Structure 1
Amino acid sequence: MNIIPTESELDWVLVLAPFRKDAEYIAASLREQKVAVKGVKADDNLLQHLALSPGIIVVTHEALTSEVVAAIAEHLAEQPDWSEVPVFILLERTAAVARIRNQLRASWPDARLLFYTRPIAPLEFVNAIHSNMLVRLRQRQVRDSIERERELRLELNHRVKNILASVTSIFHMTRRGAASVDELTIDFTTRLQALSNVHTAVFEAGGEEISLSAVMDLTVAPYNSDGMSRINVRGPAIIVNREAGTTIALCLHELITNAIKYGALSEPGGQVEVIWTISEADSSEICLVWAEAGGPPVLEPTRQGYGTRYVRSALGSLFGSVPEIAFAPDGFRCRVRGPLSQLAPRQQSESRFHTRTPDNS
């Protein structure tokens, strides 16, 4: 007699009862209470049934042969740490209960053993089965928690490695461009702070996504103090993934640092526009522009510094195309375009794009 288990691996009962119609009788009482069950005789393929992972095993006195005990012992030994399979032992009234209990506890140390003397009231038996199904449910929840914890540890390990790799890269490239220990300290510290700020923003956003506007605002906020907006940002409201947000924030920081040292922000009247747009012809393409104005005349440097190298490499990798960098006399420019899918966790529809106006407070 076979009844197909439900979808859950833990919500069906395997009944081992070789004598007369015991298996049919036990199964029928459980089926009446909506419990899935398989009832098997002693000569059935027990190993095959155990391989299907029953949630509970019921064994009658007559089924306790050495072969059955050994097969169940092997099955229980293969259970993961979270699993403690309930095994119901239905003994005859005249059975040597103490001896059998000691023998089975020695043979099945990893099981939850429950001994009953027949005859047992059907309601009592069914209630005991239901109670132990709840026990199995709790065990499964423990299993899921263990698995989630393992995945979180792997993810944390991956992220820590990536962060340390970024920090190492920032340090080496900053060191090559530093003229003194003090300059190295200041530049390295500010770059680390920029990295920390964007990670904080993503965390506070509650996941792996953050709005591009939030990334921009967070990065430029320290430079728009005292009621002045020297760096104006605007563009449609889109969501970017964590990696894209981090990369854009670090590149923006490098461009700001360069503008403070040599560009528009080194003069009182200098301004910077940061604009991102979605192509009208192809809504799947994004364009990001950094444009300076009002600064000193721009001269192309004789050698490429850390900031320029990083911006070229990072934006090129993120957008899938090399950024256009122009040292125009009236102001430094940086422009890059690429598929929106490179930045966004999912394709943004045009209906979600809303123009963001500059803050001119």
Structure 2
Amino acid sequence: MDHVLVLAPYRRDADYLRQLLSEHGIEVRICSTGDSIAPYLSASPGVLVATHEALTPDVVSAVADWLETQPSWSEMPIVVLLDRRSHQAKIKSALGASWPRARQIFYQRPVTPVELVSGVQAAFLARLRQRDVRDHIDREIELRRELNHRVKNILASVVSIFEMTQRRADTLETFSEDFRGRLTALSNVHSAVFQAEGEAVSIQDIVDLTFEPYRLSGDDRVLTEGPLVMLDREGGTTLALCLHELATNAIKYGGLSTPHGQISFTWGVSDDDLWARWRESGGAPVVAPSRTGYGTRYLRSALSSLFGRPPVLTFDPKGLIVEVEGPLSRVTRNPVG
């Protein structure tokens, strides 16, 4: 919960503000004379309340330095309690120049308790809206990164499909027909699975749609096996995205990166758990990555969310292995063995 940081050199002012605001459910922290203000600011208060006596040059400078470190969305609410005998216009002008990135609210003392509490609550609401903007910005940035990652993966898939088709085509006509068919199958993954209107989809349907672009007539590079299990719409979409991520990675580095490599995806039901296993073989030797990339982070997060337990990734030199299991009831809709 956000708190108010009170800057008041006189104990009676600090105690009064603490009692008044606490009575309205507002947490208060006091920075008194002699205290270093830096630790209080680093605790990210929601609102600052300062008596004008507290605004020494050192305090004004410290707050100004802290405000400069705040992100672009931040406009810190600062409530200043002015003595009616003070040079109010001069103080407001000086603080406006020192704290251009603060939302300054001035009250002349004596101020009624209702007015002061209402002002602090309004400042909290303004801070909350600022943080909503921050969350929106962060989410938009994350969506852009994810979109960029997905587009790159789709383009990598298209290039791989082109090369796979080219190696097997004897004529331009055959190449054109096969290439068009595989691109259509790749499109089906996005249109029929990712945007499915139905409430349930089988794992087999997800597998068929996802791997169709990578299957070549007359070979068995992509092996799949498992019972009929129906997933809810959200679970089906998540699984399709994970398989697409794994397939793309196999194209770049693993079982589909060489002419004779293979991948297999199997799943089953054991007691009350649904399990799934991805295994690659025949590709380039696997080396554990030195750092975790976006794709791996997404895979771990998505599979953990789907199954309720984290997946196990084994970077076996012979091929990547991904294993995961979780409660059947978490993701299934009318499972059938």
With the length of structure 1 as denominator, give the TM-score of the two structures.
Answer: 0.63
Per the alignment, residue 229 of structure 2 pairs with 237
| Long gaps (5+) in structure 2 | 211-224, 249-265, 283-306, 312-320
The one of 182, 202, 210 equivalent to 2:193 is 202
State how far apart, in whole Å, the 2-side matches of 1:247 and 1:101 are: 57
Q: Which has the larger radius of gyration?
A: 1
2:82/2:108 contact within 8 Å kept: yes
State how far apart, in whole Å, the 2-side matches of 1:249 and 1:183 are: 24
**How far 1:68 moved relative to its partner?**
0.5
**How far 1:277 moved relative to its partner?**
7.9
**How far 1:170 moved relative to its partner?**
0.7
**1:285-330 deviation line (CA, Å, top 9, x unaligned):** 77xxxxxxxxxxxxxxxxxxxxxxxxxxxxxx944568xxxxxxxx
Q: Which moved more, 1:28-37 or 1:148-157?
A: 148-157
Amino acid at match of 1:242: A
Amino acid at match of 1:174: T
Q: 1:13-28 to 2 correspondence within 5 Å?
A: 13-28=4-19
1:347 partnered with 2:329: no
State how far apart, in whole Å, the 2-side matches of 1:63 and 1:201 are: 64
Q: 1:161-240 to 2 correspondence within 5 Å?
A: 161-205=152-196, 211-215=202-206, 235-239=227-231
Q: Label 1:113 to 1:193 Cα distance change in 2 as closer, same or farther (>3 A).
A: same
Q: Which moved more, 1:89-98 or 1:235-244?
A: 235-244
Secondary structure of 1:21 counterpart: helix
The one of 121, 124, 136 equivalent to 1:133 is 124
**1:234-279 deviation line (CA, Å, top 9, x unaligned):** 94224461256559999xxxxxxxxxxxxxxxxxxxxxxxxx8848
Amino acid at match of 2:58: E
**How far 1:148 moved relative to its partner?**
1.4
1:212/1:245 contact within 8 Å kept: no
Amino acid at match of 1:77: E
State how far apart, in whole Å, the 1-side matches of 2:112 and 2:324 are: 58
**How far 1:159 moved relative to its partner?**
1.4
Amino acid at match of 2:74: S
Per the alignment, residue 156 of structure 1 pairs with 147
Q: Please tell me the root mean square deviation across aligned C-alpha atoms, in Å.
A: 3.6
Per the alignment, residue 311 of structure 1 pairs with none
1:199/1:246 contact within 8 Å kept: no
Q: Label 1:71 to 1:277 Cα distance change in 2 as closer, same or farther (>3 A).
A: closer
Amino acid at match of 1:236: L
Per the alignment, residue 61 of structure 2 pairs with 70
The one of 79, 85, 108 equivalent to 1:88 is 79
1:87/1:112 contact within 8 Å kept: yes
Q: Label 1:168 to 1:63 Cα distance change in 2 as closer, same or farther (>3 A).
A: same
| Long gaps (5+) in structure 1 | 1-7, 220-232, 251-275, 287-316, 323-339, 356-361
Q: Label 1:353 to 1:54 Cα distance change in 2 as closer, same or farther (>3 A).
A: same
What percentage of aligned pairs have identical amino acids?
A: 43
Secondary structure of 2:106 counterpart: strand
**How far 1:41 moved relative to its partner?**
1.4
1:238/1:348 contact within 8 Å kept: no
**How far 1:166 moved relative to its partner?**
0.9
Per the alignment, residue 258 of structure 2 pairs with none
State how far apart, in whole Å, the 2-side matches of 1:183 and 1:158 are: 31
Per the alignment, residue 138 of structure 2 pairs with 147
Secondary structure of 2:336 counterpart: coil
State how far apart, in whole Å, the 1-side matches of 2:94 and 2:143 are: 42
Secondary structure of 1:347 counterpart: strand
Q: Label 1:97 to 1:119 Cα distance change in 2 as closer, same or farther (>3 A).
A: same
Per the alignment, residue 268 of structure 1 pairs with none
2:21/2:28 contact within 8 Å kept: yes
Secondary structure of 2:77 counterpart: strand
Q: Label 1:344 to 1:237 Cα distance change in 2 as closer, same or farther (>3 A).
A: farther
With the length of structure 2 as denominator, give the TM-score of the two structures.
Answer: 0.67
Amino acid at match of 1:347: G
Q: 1:218-297 to 2 correspondence within 5 Å?
A: 235-239=227-231, 241-243=239-241, 246=244, 278=268
State how far apart, in whole Å, the 2-side matches of 1:277 and 1:162 are: 25
**How far 1:102 moved relative to its partner?**
1.1
**How far 1:136 moved relative to its partner?**
1.1
1:90/1:118 contact within 8 Å kept: yes
State how far apart, in whole Å, the 1-side matches of 2:247 and 2:31 are: 65
**How far 1:344 moved relative to its partner?**
8.6
**How far 1:284 moved relative to its partner?**
6.5
